[in-house]
A and B are shown apart, each in its own frame.
Chain A
Amino acid sequence: MKRWDLIVIGAGLAGLTAARTAVDMGAQVLVVGRGMGSLALFGNTIDVLGRIKPAEDMEAGVAGWIAAHPEHPYARTGWPGISEALDAFRDLFPPPYTFDAVGGGNSLVPTGAGTLRPTYLLPVTMAAGAGISAADTLIVGLKGFKDFQGDTVSLHLQCRGVNLSLPRYGLEGLTALGLARLMDEVPFRESLGEAIRRQMAGEQRIGLPAVLGLTAPAEVLRTLEAVTRAKVFEIPMLPPSIPGTRMFHRFRQHLIARGATFLLGNPVTGADVKEGRCEEVILQNPPLLNHHRADRYILATGRFLGGGLQAGMEKISEPLFHLPVHQPDRRGKWFGERFFQTEAHPIHCAGIVTDADLRPIDAGGKAVLKNVWVAGSILAHHQMIDEHSHQGIDIATGYLAARRALAS
């Protein structure tokens, strides 16, 4: 049986980052995912730490955050680790479809709910959405496309909005993927650009749902900007996420080109652990149980949605390796008083505690598995939704876990 250098369990951003880091170091890598992770759901921009104000310096902000939260996953990487991992991520997206920090730090970008949210790296198709002002922005919705309500967005952002229809193309009932495919066609995006231009009343920026093409988004952007003579930006919306799907495709393309193997669609349901080492993992591919062996394993199975953590009636557990899970001491303490309270619910801090190398440890601080590293949102002591740190944690810890694993 083939013995891999590394098996990455989980095909979300953390697992993909770990796998990509490892293949670039020359390792033989197998990626196994129960599904395709959550990139196609809410992968849009790269949040690192939204708590840092847009004008503030990221390095100082993260250092301050780590000082106040010494158990946070970022304490394992520090700003240098985050920055190095983000640079590697950005290298995967060469021009014209790049990811950049607008103005060097966090920026506020509009969402599909018409709110503004802080984020760090933006794809080039979203850059013009950073720091929009009501007066110079036109929000364009498409009649018949349910996943983006342009009226709601423009109402909340207090700017002008229009809902367009392109009778020739029959957009009624189209999905995000359907629209993105149409955008990849030059005549369609030219007609859309023309239709937008006719609606413009001096606006300098145009916000559209995030469907600007699957294969060549930067070209879609260029056409629309040329026709409308304005800055155009995508607004993240309800799943499925087109920008996230682009990211997944890019990782997959890179990994397969470098010889990694992808197994998606079956869960890893078992691990054979002997004397503190994982010998093999078992993939349930009914009616078969497929065994896969590696020298090292990275666990990047996410939180409750991806199945990395499971909540029972009283306890939260990690179902694959049965790792110790840091959690509130009883169920009564999982949630705060009110659902929409300002403080985060304690359950969100639950997860796997690791040593400085991202190896899982027990309550006594002792490593429980010698050849398993943990990356991504399954880690304990972060509040990724509240902090706006999801992708930053995935990328920084995925990168570090792979480096540490291969150094062993």
Chain B
Amino acid sequence: MMHAADTPTLPKNLPDLCVRCATCMAVCPVSRVTPLFPGPKQAGPGAQRFRSASQVSVDDWIELCTACRLCDTVCPAGVPISELNLMAKAKYRDERGGTLRDWLLVRSDRFGELFSRFSAIVNPLMKQRAVRWLLDKALGIDRRRELPAFDSPTFRRWFRNRPVAADAASRPTIAYFYGCFTNTNDVDVGKAAVVCLEAHGYTVSVPHQRCCGIPRLGVGDLRGAREMGLRNLSLLLPKVREGTDIVFSSTSCGMMLRHEYGPLLDLPGAEELATHLFDICAFLLRLQEEKQAPLSYRRLEAKAAYFTPCHLRSLNEGLPALELLRLVPGLDVRLIEAECCGLGGLYGFKKEKYAITAEVGKDLAKEVARMKPDVILTDCEGCRMQIRHLTGMRVLHPLQLLRDALPPADTPADIGAVPNRSPA
């Protein structure tokens, strides 16, 4: 007998599911550092009971929710708390209009391509105190927050120009959703992803893609997020229909593509995409577990600390990167016991929110100081930026370290070692 079918789907947007138990208050990273945000119980279902479509929003503290979604992962009643917050943010934005800052920040994919081309000029410029002062005063982009440097060439360009392996056509194909940040600011993550997938016998393809849309969602721009979603679906679904699965290396992009396109944005074809979309570490781990002869990683003597991005918790796949890293002999990898890095994506670049993100990050920084690792690993680019900012340490995507541990025969000669990237 199969009971799945007779269980009704959870109702959406129903604040009355909330039993006011306050478990969410035990995990919210924001309400523990500032009384300005009342916390998920009050901001989500609590306030939702008083919100009316016909009345002007009065709860501007809703902007302080970072959309980490940790509340959703602990609620015993299945209340879609972060979604309630998001809808409230969207209504707020509809009433007041978007800001120039948001307009600029959510288009970092487009600007990124341009800046990457002129990285020799842009990167030094972005470190100029006068420029940062101007961005701070005119746009409210906090000058204490390092802006990520741009790589040149982009990941896409690098990929297009590399030689195709002779046996590429005979291998199974996997498509890679690299995400904007990998493309223009962290190209090495993309390179590592390609090398790791190839080491497992795959031919990698990189379908055309746009920003997943999560930055737009974060500022309450539901229409913009939908638009990005529709574009990506039209670019990615043909791959899926050819029988190619897709992997992502950014947990935030992945969470958006897999769990927001359908359930939240209700985009046609979202479910079809979701069933063929995998976290790259979960995908590699499955290959290791299922393959007759799994890759045996080389010995790497290092003390690593792994941090769980909030959106990996929402993906709800466990800790595949940590499990993969545990397969590397000699690598002493431990979990950082902290709930959230505090950046919240674009949130952490905003002047009025900087203090909150810094305070949330303190817990993580304290834990890192206690652990004294050689390297910190995490799947999310936002977490990596924030942890570099907090600790000044070397912070990598787990794939960058796994690439170093691949057996020599499988590592193509034209790939350099992991760059020891100093804090941006």
Check if A54 is an interface residue, CB within 8 A of chain B: no
Give Cα A98–Cα B67 distance, bound, in whole angstroms. 36
Which of B71-79, B102-110, B146-154, B402-410 lies on the face that meets chain A?
A: B71-79
Check if B258 is an interface residue, CB within 8 A of chain A: yes
Give Cα A239–Cα B24 distance, bound, in whole angstroms. 10
Residues of chain A within 8 A of B3, CB atoms compared: 269-273, 320-322
> Smallest CB-CB separation from B38: which chain A residue?
A173
Check if A36 is an interface residue, CB within 8 A of chain B: yes
> Smallest CB-CB separation from A180: which chain B residue?
B32
Give Cα A271–Cα B326 distance, bound, in whole angstroms. 31
Give Cα A273–Cα B271 distance, bound, in whole angstroms. 26
Given A176-B25, A240-B22, are A265 and B4 neighbors across the interface (CB < 8 Å)? no
Given A181-B33, A287-B271, A322-B3, are A239 and B76 neighbors across the interface (CB < 8 Å)? no
Give Cα A153–Cα B387 distance, bound, in whole angstroms. 42
B: number of interface residues (CB 8 Å): 52
Residues of chain B within 8 A of A259, CB atoms compared: 323, 326
Q: Is the CB of B33 within 8 A of A239?
A: no
Q: How large is the interface on A (under 10, 10 to 19, 20 to 34, 35 or more residues)?
A: 35 or more
Check if B2 is an interface residue, CB within 8 A of chain A: yes
Given A35-B75, A38-B76, A256-B335, are A269 and B21 neighbors across the interface (CB < 8 Å)? no
Give Cα A37–Cα B77 distance, bound, in whole angstroms. 11
Q: Is the CB of A287 within 8 A of B26?
A: no
Q: Is the CB of B313 within 8 A of A307?
A: no
Which of B4, B32, B313 touches A181 (beta carbons < 8 Å)? B32
Q: Is the CB of A282 within 8 A of B76?
A: no
Q: Is the CB of B289 within 8 A of A178?
A: no
Give Cα A273–Cα B2 distance, bound, in whole angstroms. 7
Q: Is the CB of A41 within 8 A of B22?
A: yes
Q: Is the CB of A267 within 8 A of B78?
A: yes
Q: Which of B4-32 contact A (CB under 8 A)?
A: 4-5, 7, 9-10, 19, 21-23, 25-28, 31-32
Residues of chain A within 8 A of B326, CB atoms compared: 259
> Smallest CB-CB separation from B25: which chain A residue?
A240
Q: A380 to nearest B CB, angstroms? A: 21
Q: A321 to nearest B CB, angstroms? A: 8
Q: Is the CB of B73 within 8 A of A264?
A: yes
> Smallest CB-CB separation from B258: which chain A residue?
A288
Cβ proximity bits B44-76 to A, threshold 8 Å, 1 near / 0 not: 000000000000000000000000000011111
Given A174-B35, A239-B21, are A253 and B335 neighbors across the interface (CB < 8 Å)? yes
Q: List 9 A-B contacts (CB under 8 A).
A: A36-B73, A41-B21, A178-B31, A239-B22, A259-B326, A273-B3, A286-B9, A287-B262, A306-B76
Residues of A within 8 A of B (CB): 2, 30, 34-38, 40-41, 172-178, 181, 215, 238-241, 244-245, 249, 253, 256-257, 259, 261-267, 269-273, 282-290, 305-307, 319-322
Residues of B within 8 A of A (CB): 1-5, 7, 9-10, 19, 21-23, 25-28, 31-33, 35, 39, 72-78, 258-259, 262-263, 270-271, 274-275, 286, 289, 313-314, 316-319, 322-323, 326, 334-335, 337, 363, 366
